[in-house]
Each structure stands twice: as C-alpha cells, then as structure tokens.
Amino acid sequence: MELKNTVMGIELGSTRIKAVLIDQNHNPIASGDHVWENQLVNGVWTYSMEAIHTGLQDCYANLKKDVKEKFGVELTTVGAIGVSAMMHGYLPFDKDMNQLAEFRTWRNTITGPAAAELTELFGFNIPQRWSIAHLYQAILNGEEHLPRLAHLTTLAGYIHWKLTGKHNMGVGEASGIIPIAPDGKDYDRSMIEKFDALIAPRGFSWKLEDVLPEVLPAGAVAGHLTAEGAAFLDPAGDLQPGVPVAPCEGDAGTGMAATNSVRVHTGNVSAGTSDFAMVVVDRPLGVHREIDMVTTPSGAPVAMVHCSNCTSDINGWVGLLAEFAEAIGAKVDKGDLYTMLFRKALEGDPDCGGLLSFNYFSGEGVTDLDEGRPVFMRMPDAKLSLANFMRTHLLSALATLKIGLDILTGEEKVAIDKIYGHGGFFKTPGVGQRMLSAAAGVPVSVMETAGEGGPYGMALLCAYMVWKEDGETLEDYLDHKVFANAKSSTLMADPSDIDGFKAFLARYEKALPVEKLATEVLV
C-alpha cells in the first residue's frame, strides 16, 4: 500500500467524529470514529476543549488501527488531509490563541437580538447560529473578553490551525461566519464596513477583518501539517509532518461534495442530529428568516434550509424501546433495532393516524422558537400502533425542513428536480428516502457512499486539491472523476405518502402553539 496515494477526510459532527481514508479511485478503504455528545452548560450548548482534543485523537487512533488491521502498515503519512466540522458557532481567541469563551455551537438560539439587527443592517438574512451573530450578541451583552479578541473562528478553523498554524478556511465554511461577496471569492466587503461602523462607538482596538480567517477556494493548498500538528493528531508519534492540508470546510460543504451536489440546480439533504437542505441556485433570493444563503466549496450561491433538530428524539425513543426489550429478556442489537423500527414505520398510516410529535430538543429558527421541548401527543381516537408511532417520529424529524422547503419552492420558485440524501436518517435502505420524498414531493437518491457522509466529502475535497488537472473545476472533477460510475438508488414516494405528509404537516403547524407553551411551562 502506498500511503501517499491516499487522502484523509476528518469531520467533527454533532454526535460522532469520523475519519475516512480514500484511495485514488475515490473509494473509502479505512475509517475510524469517536462517539461524543454536546453538553448544555449554563444555558449554552457546547463541547469542552478537552472533549474536542481527546475525541479527535481517539478517532484518528481508530483509523490507524483500521489501516494496520487491513493493510499491515503503520499510518505515517497520506497524500493530503482535510478537516470539516459543524458549521457556524463561536470560538474566540486572543493573540496567543488562548480561548476566551466557551465554544458556542450551531445549536444555540441565544443571539436573537443580534441576528435581527444584523439582518436589518445588511439586508441579508443572518441566522442566529452564524458566527457574526454570536460576536455581535457578545458585544450587546458587554462580555469582558472582547477587548482581547484577536481570532474569531469555527471548530473546523480551530482544528485546521492546530494542524497547520494557519488561520484560513474554505469559502463554504467562511459563508457561515459572515456573508460572502457575489463573486464567491471573499467576505462581502460592504457588510464588513457596515459592521465596523456599527461597533465603532465601542472603542475596540480591532476591526472585523483583523479577526476573521482568510478565505480560500476549493483546490487551494491551505497549509502543511506541522510537527506540532502531527503530534497533536497522533500523540503516538507515527504521523510525519509535511502533508498538504486542504481548506477546512463545514458539514454543509462536505455534504454537497459527498453527494455531487455542487452544480447549479442540484440539491441534497443531510439528516442526522440536525437536518438541512442545500440547493445550489443561479440568482440572488429574497430575504427570508427561514432561508440561509451560503456557498459551495467553490463559491457558488446555495439556498440552505437549516433545522436544529432531526434524529435526537428518535434516538431517545429507540433507547427506551431497547431498555424495554432488555427488561423482558429480549436484548437486541441497537443497530438491528433501528432497522426494524424504521421498517415498521412503512406500515403506518400515511398521515400517522392522528399521532403527532415535536422533536425539538433545542430551539428552532425556522419556527421561531428559542428553546425546545420534545412533545408527543395524540387524539383520543388516534390509531396508537408501533407503526404509526415510528412514522410519526420520522415525519416529525422532517416537518420543519418541509416548512422551509415550501418557502424556497413556493415563494422563490426554485425548481428542485431531485434530492440526494445522506446521513444517519437514510441508513435503513428505502425508509428515510421514502419519507423525504413524501416531504419534498421529488425523487430522492442515496449513493452507496452516502453512509460515509461528511468525512468522505472532505476526503474528496482533498483529492481535488492534489489530483485535479490544471483548470479542472470542482464540478467537473466530481462529475467525471468521482461519480461517473457511482451506484445509487432513487425512490419516489407514492401519492398517498405525499398526501399523508401534507395532512401531517397541517396538523403539525396548527399545533405549534402547544410546543411554544411547553417551552414556557416545562422549566
């Protein structure tokens, strides 16, 4: 095995850190992971720096182990490395890279006043989870660390700095900090100037441009693995420095790469702890609180419907059912239980028979809720069956996404011909596909590599950096080199499924006041 003919993608996701090694045929050949979970500390969803460091190192150690077991070699180098992570959030540092505040993740809905004011100022929707909203909210709150601010970055940007010593990131990741200019190459200069004017009376010694990472397009070399970076990633000391490192990206960008959804009019849905739809568009859209405008890794505009909640509530119920099975002496493998329960949902009534659930573990921007409370309810005459129960939670996981998609396709007249799905929601063949197709009303395709998700997409961006031909675009590279012969399955929901989802969603939207009340009385 020639290690330099492989590339490695790493992604720090919401519930799992995963590393994937691919060969020159773009096939995954080894992987490693680490399971983790965010914590609600003093009202802030966060991950500790210790958890970030040790989790990443454990993930890499498991990748090393997989390579050793499969190929009998020690993982000492690769052709390229790239890091991806959950987009957005707030990670501030001083000039010596001392952390100034806890990592505030995308899941937080604590920046409402800042997001609203910046949206008005920029004439551009600024979601609560974007880094600029977190920064301005910290300013509004008068947080004491702000005079010492020297570097504002994201989780991916921080890990990239740990590996390379460079403060830069891919344009897709940067688009979750502050909007990107229409040419897709750098931050929007006019918005930076407006922000600086807004905060000028505060008297900070820094300006926004001083603290932001440099923006790079896909295919650029964003640095090289330093000796310190190699020792950080692999404390055992086997990994050697000097490896070229791709621009870090967010999970949205890697999801687009992993599903070949970077061309105009293509789209994908990533569904795991959160779910989001990405549709590459060919024109500016109106300002909608429910629609975020980000970019592909090569800078093309993307309309994004981002929902903070997807599978967490499903995971909770599956855990309860697993506990029940164990209590009656019928302990089952958790993976098998997920498969069985997802398949059971296909037997449910298309509209879930009168059952209803809200899967809100945290707040949800699309439905304007700053907090969440998981709620399950039903009419007295509802058909309470296991099939309907599971289908209810699967449809609930997609309901908020559907609300955003309806704005995109209805008000903005954006055409979506097909959607690619990836993430844990699609792991059971045919089930997640069918539910998403019922929600979107279009065919849904899942590729064989969809289970690899974001880390695979990051590995592809590494491959593009080191193996592309002169002048070859990312779109062409993915079309002709990666996905030309890719195997995928495509499914279109039955009309009854589509009608059933519409009926479920009508009941869901009518009952939203119940969810809002729950956040007020369940404290």
Residue 204 in tokens: 């900070």
Mean pLDDT confidence for 80-103: 97
Q: Is the pLDDT of residue 405 over 70?
A: yes
Written in H, E and C, the secondary structure of 195-244 is HHHHHHHHCCCCCHHHHCCEEECCCCCCCECCHHHHHHHCCCCCCCCCCE
Reported confidence tier of residue 262, pLDDT bands at 50, 70, 90: very high
Q: Is the pLDDT of residue 452 over 70?
A: no
Q: Is the pLDDT of residue 449 over 70?
A: no
Fold of 3-259+454-468: Nucleotidyltransferase; domain 5 (3.30.420)
Per domain, the residue ranges of the chain are: 3-259+454-468
How far is the C-alpha of 164 from the C-alpha of 223, rounded, in Å? 6
Radius of gyration of the chain (CA): 22
How far is the C-alpha of 518 from the C-alpha of 260, rounded, in Å? 40
What are phi and psi for residue 347, nearest 5 degrees? -85, -5
| Residue 35 CA: distances (Å) to CA of 112, 217, 229, 241 | 31, 30, 22, 27
Average pLDDT over the chain, rounded to an integer: 94
Q: Is 410 within 8 Å of 402 (Cβ atoms)? A: no
DSSP state of 147: G
Residue 318 in tokens: 């599956």
Mean pLDDT confidence for 484-509: 94
Q: Is the pLDDT of residue 451 over 60?
A: no
Taking only the tens place, the pLDDT of each residue in 236-249 is 999 999 999 999 99
More confident residue, 282 or 214: 214
**Considering the entire predicted model, what is its pTM?**
0.84
Written in H, E and C, the secondary structure of 370-394 is CCCCCEEEECCCCCCCHHHHHHHHH
Residue type, 341: L
Q: Which strands, in side-by-side order, build the sheet including 419-422?
A: 292-295, 301-307, 275-280, 267-271, 419-422, 444-447, 488-491
- Tokens 């590996």 correspond to what residue? 163
Residue type, 177: I
Q: Is the pLDDT of residue 485 over 90?
A: no
| pLDDT computed for residue 409 by the predictor | 87
Reported confidence tier of residue 443, pLDDT bands at 50, 70, 90: very high
Q: 136: helix, coil or strand? A: helix
The angle formed by the CA atoms of residues 8, 12 and 13, to the nearest 5 degrees, is 125
Cβ neighbors of 182 (< 8 A, separation 6 or more) are 188, 284
How far is the C-alpha of 148 from the C-alpha of 151, rounded, in Å? 9
Share of the chain above pLDDT 90, in %: 83
Residue 378 in tokens: 């039903």
Q: 43: helix, coil or strand? A: coil
Taking only the tens place, the pLDDT of each residue in 11-67 is 999 889 999 999 999 999 999 999 999 999 999 999 999 999 999 999 999 999 999
Reported confidence tier of residue 195, pLDDT bands at 50, 70, 90: very high
Q: Is 269 within 8 Å of 401 (Cβ atoms)? A: yes
